[in-house]
Structure 1
Amino acid sequence: MTAAASARQILTRLTEVMASRMHAQGKLDAVVEIIGECLTSEVCSIYLLREGMLELFATRGLNKSAVHVTRMAVGEGLTGTIAANIETLNLAEAKAHPDFLYRPETGEDKFHSFAGVPIVYRERAVGVLCVQHVDPRRYEDVEIEALQTTAMVLSELIANAELVDEEEARGLTEEQTAPATIIGLPMVKGLGAGQAVYHQPRVQITQVMAEDIEAERQRVYRAFDKMREQIDNLAGQAEFGVGGEHEEVLETYKMFAYDEGWSRRINEAIDSGLTAEAAIERVQQHTRMRMREIDDPLLADRMHDLEDLANRLIRIVSGQLGTAASQGLRRDTILIARNLGPAELLEYDKRRLKGVILEEGSLTAHVVIVARAMGVPVLGRAQSVRGVIREGDEVLLDASAGNAIVRPLNQVADAFHARFTRSKERQAAYASLRDVEPFTRCGTRIQVMMNAGLRDDMSNLAMTGADGVGLFRTEFQFLVSATLPQRERQTRLYRDVLDAAGDRPVIFRTVDIGGDKSVPYLASDIARNDENPAMGWRALRLALEREGLMKAQARALLEAAGGRALYVMFPMVSEVWEFDAARAVFDEQLAFLRAKKKLMPERIHFGAMLEVPALAEVLDLLLPKLSFLSVGTNDLTQFLFAADRANPKLAQRYDWLSPSILRFLRRVIQSSVGSGVDVGVCGEMGGRRLEALALLGIGFRRLSITPAAVGPIKELVRKIDLDELSAAINGWLADPAVDIRTELSAWAAAREIETD
């Protein structure tokens, strides 16, 4: 008899038992009889987890007096080992196993062979189903697979009948109920508290046994076709085609998606009488058990990929394709996801979304940029999240410190909320500076501007009292769109932004996409082959080659700014000719619009971003062509140190206050003296109080930062004397052996200036 036939025979009889009005204990007693008969096994027993112990609930072949008497700890004996390791045991001689434990009250001394499988509910063992035989023999594979399928059906019966404690029925270990700390990489700093919500909710399988096997098979066939189509589409997206790790992940996905062995095993599970969803889950459980037997980190990664793919298949076959965003957030939420796209993040209610925890993620991912603009703290590279955080758990997220506390003790929660309250009080104090101009103690006016990228961001201009928008990231509209945004749509956005800004300047950075901020509709062979996308075909390089894209954006900006000032900044300029080429596109569109008698901007200010170190060597040639220059500290830092910020081993290795960075930036300032060109900083560095002190000390007078940092930086500016600060910074830079971060922190503390 095949495994499917054995399982089908058992499931057919189990269906009748389940449908009966028999009480739960009676059903278990009937189950062990059915399994024993169908597998011609002299003993069949069911142990269930109750009060932390495995208790014998039903048996055929052992002494009935042992039922509800024999108990053992998880990890104790063969049964406890199966539950602890969530593994299958198949032994010809049970006593030969090192974990064998004899319990005399059961009368099992005459039985030699033993086989057992875990009863798994929501990825945790809640019991064990085992069989025994007098003769020493290993059970056939068909018998083991029949046991595994039966155990899956039992898990639903056990949970629904409340035969184990509620938390045990939900598959919870002590690690999942006790307080825990998740460690990760700070991606967007900040504090947030709320209940855990998974971006991809787990599909709850409500029906295990199939009514029509052929109909279930067709459902799986259709789901496989749709899943393979999705994976093939991913292959055409630049985000999954830049080589290295992404390419390996994609190849693994494709390998599993087209693995005939995987689909065959699911079909065999359906043949045994399971629904499509239950069959996928059954094979998934089997794979987990097999993988646990192999201590190989690479296979562990592959298992993670298969889990993700199997979850995708279950969502497709069940029709439960929506994310948590489609259901709406009902409470303050910490969102949990493996990864997120910017469009997916924007679907969530910002009033309820208090933080994000990503299992993966990188500092350069565009979802991080969007989250920073939204003011949502993000913790990335958080390992083992799914094994620790449950849906609905209370989570205290401290993305600044790189951790999250799950299910906190009352005193820990009280301390966190007190700290959160103090943080809000400080923000309220900073908000009181909204209408105060940021002058230093020595009387120098510092421009404190904010970064933006969404139409909704513009409300922060009035709330913070920023001097304007020093960086409007126009690529956000491209990143959250499925197709290239039409010129008319771009024009509406830019006009709305200028209207919201009123008489305050807005510096529009032309689109910075490609490379590490890929969009599928601009995929190319060049982008897919970039080994280091941050240094690849992106930003101005892409825009100049995609001439239609640049022309459409130029015309949209010019039309939107009709009758007022327009500030345009080109990203990632490496050489002077690139700036000239970009400026020529705008001049051409300007001439075209003049010929059409369109309303022109009153004046146009052209600027460039200094992100590529090579540009610093030709500033004498570029400055005469510019109205302003903005230093992009994020990219500049990784280029100067040849350190990929997306690499977690390097992300926090290089210090913004190192002599290398500060000397370079000071040289840029010195090169611009007398040029009449306004030189500023736009980037995360300017939004940190200690780093901002250093920037002001070497000569920067314009900072463009996140809206949340505007108040703190304005407050900082009013406490410093620039002559005193500059003397200190220059002194430390003259002696590179000095730890500037430590020295500057002490300097600030001596003057009662708070730093981050």
Structure 2
Amino acid sequence: MPLSAAASAREILTRLHDVMASRDRAQSKLNAVVNIIGEALDSEVCSIYLLREGLLELFATRGLDQEAVHVTKLAPGEGLVGTIAANVETLNLAEAAAHPDFAYRPETGEDRFHSFAGVPIIRRERAVGVLAVQHADPRRYEDVEIEALQTVAMVLSELIANAGLVDSTSDPSTRPQSTATEQVSGFKLVDGMAAGIAVYHQPRIHIEHTVAEDTESERHRVYAAFDKMRDGIERMSSQAEFGVGGEHEEVLETYKMFAYDEGWARRINEAIDSGLTAEAAIERVQQRTRMRMREIDDPLLRDRMHDLEDLSNRLIRIVSGQLGTAAQLGLRQDSILIARNLGPAELLEYDRRRLKGVILEEGSLTAHVTIVARAMGLPMIGRVRDVRRLIAEGDMLLLDAAEESVIIRPNEAMEESFEAKLLLTQERRAKFAKLKSEPPVTRDGHRVTVMVNAGLRDDVAALDVTGADGIGLFRTEFQFLVSATLPQRERQQRLYRDVLDAAGDRPVTFRTVDVGGDKTLPYLDHDADDEEENPAMGWRALRLGLERDALMKAQARALIEAAAGRTLNVMFPMVSEPWEFDEARAIFEQQREWIHSRGRKLPTEIRYGAMLEVPALAETLDMLLPKLQFLSIGTNDLTQFLFAADRAHPKLAMRYDWLSPSILRFLRRVADQARAADVPVAVCGEMGGRPLDAMALIGIGIERLSITPAAVGPVKAMIRSLDRGKVMEAVADMLAAPQRSLREPLKRWAIENGVELA
């Protein structure tokens, strides 16, 4: 076997070029291909399976019994070949029969072969076949052999497509479009409503030629494309229309870092060395990236890799001359953009006057494009399946991110209903905007503190828009999640100072960084054995901060220096026992002493608080409360811990109600203890942002809420229509002899007493 993967692939591609150029029938070409690959890799078996009528059919083989050709068929997901196709993944096994998905087919005569390696043959981002090799000796194939197989599989994709060997019915992109009204659901990424015609972000780029005639010429084409792409990104990022200093700036800096990544450029060069054209080399590296993404459990790292996917799309369009994304062609009317995924730069290229919303087949809350869309005020939903099958270019769409739905080809009645809801939403927004200068005081004169949750620098603007009393929870981890490297202390300090400056006299409570678990950082070292089955209850938040105390020390210094001359409110997340709070507070006090010893200005006061999310902490509140200046209850995590129910599990998400007696009794007990100790207690989380649930919280004695900015208006309206004394009596009676849930009784009580729950 040659030492270089590029040399191995080039040797095979040179011979394949002649086969592809011949006038032989497609079957004869495939027969020749398996012999060429088998000889080059010194493999006793080489087989090609192609997707036909929904099954993977053995089309050509060297080494297996010829009688099995066109007879052996496997469904996607069946056997090793079916697993490769279903998962679009590579398998490399020293002992094939030991794999749990192994399925023996006696007609092939493969029982004498032990080792197995297979790669998917990919077209239009999906597997249309499998290229597999086998050997009698049990051994894993070398990396150079696997890379050669992957490169050859790309060339085979061109060959079988040109020969028409894959059924068009197997490709969802070719299925006929319906004209009926349909509705699809997704996941809310950015709230809002929008109507417009469907526009696909990126037309599919078809690579006409994969095998290079002149390697150096292809390399120069890629170099020129890199220069053009980087110039375009620099120009675009300098012209971004929204303000300076937001997280979107950090996003674009990270994006630019990927564009200048030498490792990415080197991998494309290596693919060209193997004999591929510039377009095919970029696509080859992109396919490898996609396969790596499927193997990564970390959602944040996958989000970072989407930026690389975006850049690959941009580069391949430049090198091929097919520059026509919807942004570059221009939007002609109000449009809803559809894409598998987007990078932040791609979104910034669109005309904001006509782009009304975004639908993604993938997407996540922490993705860079979500941060930019939020800064642009664009409604967006993600994780929408089958969009290419269900939605045709030019279809009318109604996007309601709050309802997490899209109506496709709506009828007239649906459009009228949508417009009425949109108008009502705008009217309600205007109505709530009038309340921004009105205090949240109940009808019997009790003042409730209503604050907002925030995580971005731009979120602080919500204080002026809503008239909230302050920021009850500033999630500091967002800066860590959008950065490619650990944010330096100076950068952290600048963010915290900007937030305090923007808030003015209104209080801000900074929660120390809550990462780990399902919010892992790619630049933090993790042991290979540390994979967690239940990350929400794993190595995260304060647990991580105390073990990696350098991270907490840097954040403590940044917060203390940023709050010089002001009050600093700092809160520790996921405190399970009082000693954890003590250790975290000691770290901050050490940093305060260090700063003081250098003669630098300190905060006028540091107020320390804890988040009650772990039920165990409630049993030691008598020990903890004397040390606290405030307590916050995180209802999102607390609920799932109390019920032992994963809130992300679809079968459990709606099963356990926040207005169940167990939750309300637990919260009432905590509120009573905190009040007796004269420690202010607030509820942070979705529960406090729902008017009915917030009414119940007030009914058990909660006087402080920290909620999303969008919820401030509705919750204020509810408070101003509520008699606190009466609701406390009503809730006490309901909890004394409770039903399964108090939701319906509380709704009836609210209606009878004129409480506004809109």
Q: Residues 686, 342 of structure 1: CA spacing in aligned structure 2 closer, same or farther, 3 A cutoff?
A: farther
Kept after mapping to 1: 8 A contact 2:515/2:541: yes
Aligned to 2:525: 523
CA distance in 2, matches of 1:686, 1:595: 42
Determine if the alignment matches structure 1 residue 454 to structure 2 residue 456.
yes
Determine if the alignment matches structure 1 residue 405 to structure 2 residue 407.
yes
Out of 532, 535, 541, the residue aligned to residue 534 of structure 2 is 532
> Once the 2 structures are TM-superposed, how far is the Cα of residue 278 of structure 1 from its aligned partner?
12
Aligned to 1:587: 589
Q: Residues 632, 371 of structure 1: CA spacing in aligned structure 2 closer, same or farther, 3 A cutoff?
A: farther
Q: Residues 185, 606 of structure 1: CA spacing in aligned structure 2 closer, same or farther, 3 A cutoff?
A: same
CA distance in 2, matches of 1:343, 1:523: 29
Kept after mapping to 1: 8 A contact 2:190/2:401: yes
Determine if the alignment matches structure 1 residue 658 to structure 2 residue 671.
no
Kept after mapping to 2: 8 A contact 1:210/1:216: no
CA distance in 2, matches of 1:463, 1:636: 30
> Once the 2 structures are TM-superposed, how far is the Cα of residue 145 of structure 1 from its aligned partner?
9.4
Aligned to 1:204: 205
CA distance in 1, matches of 2:594, 2:548: 19
**Larger deviation, residues 315-324 vs 377-386:** 315-324
Aligned to 2:729: 727
Determine if the alignment matches structure 1 residue 173 to structure 2 residue 176.
yes
Out of 423, 432, 435, the residue aligned to residue 434 of structure 2 is 432
Q: Secondary structure at the match of 1:578?
A: helix
Q: Residues 591, 87 of structure 1: CA spacing in aligned structure 2 closer, same or farther, 3 A cutoff?
A: closer
Q: Residues 470, 624 of structure 1: CA spacing in aligned structure 2 closer, same or farther, 3 A cutoff?
A: same
> Once the 2 structures are TM-superposed, how far is the Cα of residue 512 of structure 1 from its aligned partner?
0.8
Aligned ranges for residues 316-715 of structure 1 at < 5 Å? 318=316, 334=336, 336=338, 357-359=359-361, 379-390=381-392, 393-525=395-527, 528-715=530-717
Q: Residues 149, 526 of structure 1: CA spacing in aligned structure 2 closer, same or farther, 3 A cutoff?
A: closer
> Once the 2 structures are TM-superposed, how far is the Cα of residue 646 of structure 1 from its aligned partner?
2.6
CA distance in 1, matches of 2:330, 2:555: 36
CA distance in 2, matches of 1:597, 1:182: 61
> Partner letter of residue 569 of structure 1?
M
Q: Secondary structure at the match of 2:430?
A: helix
Q: Residues 742, 355 of structure 1: CA spacing in aligned structure 2 closer, same or farther, 3 A cutoff?
A: farther
1:265-299: per-residue Cα shift (whole Å, max 9, x none)?
xx99x8xxx99559979xx9xxxxxxxxxxxxxxx
**Larger deviation, residues 426-435 vs 362-371:** 362-371
> Once the 2 structures are TM-superposed, how far is the Cα of residue 144 of structure 1 from its aligned partner?
13
> Partner letter of residue 149 of structure 1?
N
Kept after mapping to 2: 8 A contact 1:459/1:500: yes
CA distance in 1, matches of 2:315, 2:602: 55
Q: Secondary structure at the match of 2:603?
A: coil
CA distance in 2, matches of 1:376, 1:708: 15
Q: Residues 561, 614 of structure 1: CA spacing in aligned structure 2 closer, same or farther, 3 A cutoff?
A: same
Aligned to 1:753: 755
> Once the 2 structures are TM-superposed, how far is the Cα of residue 451 of structure 1 from its aligned partner?
1.0
Q: Secondary structure at the match of 2:435?
A: coil
Cα RMSD, aligned residues only: 5.0
> Once the 2 structures are TM-superposed, how far is the Cα of residue 386 of structure 1 from its aligned partner?
3.1
> Partner letter of residue 318 of structure 1?
I
CA distance in 2, matches of 1:643, 1:363: 22
> Once the 2 structures are TM-superposed, how far is the Cα of residue 359 of structure 1 from its aligned partner?
4.0
Q: Residues 582, 275 of structure 1: CA spacing in aligned structure 2 closer, same or farther, 3 A cutoff?
A: closer
Q: Secondary structure at the match of 1:458?
A: helix
> Once the 2 structures are TM-superposed, how far is the Cα of residue 387 of structure 1 from its aligned partner?
2.1
Q: Secondary structure at the match of 2:406?
A: strand
Q: Secondary structure at the match of 2:523?
A: helix
> Once the 2 structures are TM-superposed, how far is the Cα of residue 361 of structure 1 from its aligned partner?
6.3
Q: Residues 391, 563 of structure 1: CA spacing in aligned structure 2 closer, same or farther, 3 A cutoff?
A: farther
> Partner letter of residue 747 of structure 2?
S
CA distance in 1, matches of 2:492, 2:314: 35
Kept after mapping to 2: 8 A contact 1:464/1:707: yes
CA distance in 2, matches of 1:349, 1:580: 52
> Once the 2 structures are TM-superposed, how far is the Cα of residue 333 of structure 1 from its aligned partner?
6.1
> Partner letter of residue 400 of structure 2?
D
User: Where do 5+ consecutive residues of structure 2 fail to align?
Assistant: 1-14, 30-50, 60-121, 127-154, 227-270, 288-305
User: Where do 5+ consecutive residues of structure 1 fail to align?
Assistant: 12-34, 40-81, 91-119, 125-141, 156-167, 227-262, 285-307
1:116-156: per-residue Cα shift (whole Å, max 9, x none)?
xxxx99899xxxxxxxxxxxxxxxxx999977414599x9x
> Partner letter of residue 204 of structure 1?
I
Kept after mapping to 2: 8 A contact 1:450/1:706: yes
CA distance in 1, matches of 2:351, 2:159: 46
> Partner letter of residue 725 of structure 2?
D
> Once the 2 structures are TM-superposed, how far is the Cα of residue 408 of structure 1 from its aligned partner?
2.5
> Partner letter of residue 642 of structure 2?
L
Q: Secondary structure at the match of 2:755?
A: coil
Kept after mapping to 2: 8 A contact 1:569/1:606: yes
**Which structure is larger by alpha-carbon Rg, 1 or 2?**
1
Q: Residues 599, 212 of structure 1: CA spacing in aligned structure 2 closer, same or farther, 3 A cutoff?
A: closer
Q: Secondary structure at the match of 1:411?
A: helix
> Once the 2 structures are TM-superposed, how far is the Cα of residue 687 of structure 1 from its aligned partner?
0.8
CA distance in 2, matches of 1:692, 1:382: 31
Aligned to 2:162: 149
Q: Residues 712, 169 of structure 1: CA spacing in aligned structure 2 closer, same or farther, 3 A cutoff?
A: closer
CA distance in 1, matches of 2:190, 2:363: 11
**Larger deviation, residues 382-391 vs 327-336:** 327-336
CA distance in 1, matches of 2:706, 2:452: 5
> Once the 2 structures are TM-superposed, how far is the Cα of residue 363 of structure 1 from its aligned partner?
8.3
Q: Residues 639, 494 of structure 1: CA spacing in aligned structure 2 closer, same or farther, 3 A cutoff?
A: same
Aligned to 1:8: 21
Kept after mapping to 1: 8 A contact 2:714/2:757: no
Aligned to 2:741: 739
> Once the 2 structures are TM-superposed, how far is the Cα of residue 340 of structure 1 from its aligned partner?
7.7
> Partner letter of residue 208 of structure 1?
E
Identity over the aligned pairs, expressed in percent? Answer: 55
Q: TM-score, normalised by structure 1?
A: 0.63
CA distance in 1, matches of 2:640, 2:345: 27
1:699-727: per-residue Cα shift (whole Å, max 9, x none)?
11111111111111111100001121112
**Larger deviation, residues 190-199 vs 719-728:** 190-199
Aligned ranges for residues 115-134 of structure 1 at < 5 Å? none
CA distance in 1, matches of 2:668, 2:369: 32
Kept after mapping to 1: 8 A contact 2:172/2:389: no
Kept after mapping to 2: 8 A contact 1:515/1:530: yes
Kept after mapping to 2: 8 A contact 1:216/1:276: no
CA distance in 2, matches of 1:309, 1:497: 28
CA distance in 2, matches of 1:682, 1:310: 36
> Once the 2 structures are TM-superposed, how far is the Cα of residue 329 of structure 1 from its aligned partner?
9.5
CA distance in 1, matches of 2:197, 2:427: 23
Kept after mapping to 2: 8 A contact 1:506/1:567: yes
Q: Secondary structure at the match of 1:472?
A: strand
> Once the 2 structures are TM-superposed, how far is the Cα of residue 362 of structure 1 from its aligned partner?
7.3
Q: Secondary structure at the match of 1:442?
A: coil
> Once the 2 structures are TM-superposed, how far is the Cα of residue 742 of structure 1 from its aligned partner?
1.3
**What number of residue pairs does the alignment pair up?**
562
CA distance in 2, matches of 1:328, 1:698: 58
1:359-412: per-residue Cα shift (whole Å, max 9, x none)?
456789999899889976554543322322345654322233342112323432
Kept after mapping to 2: 8 A contact 1:337/1:358: yes
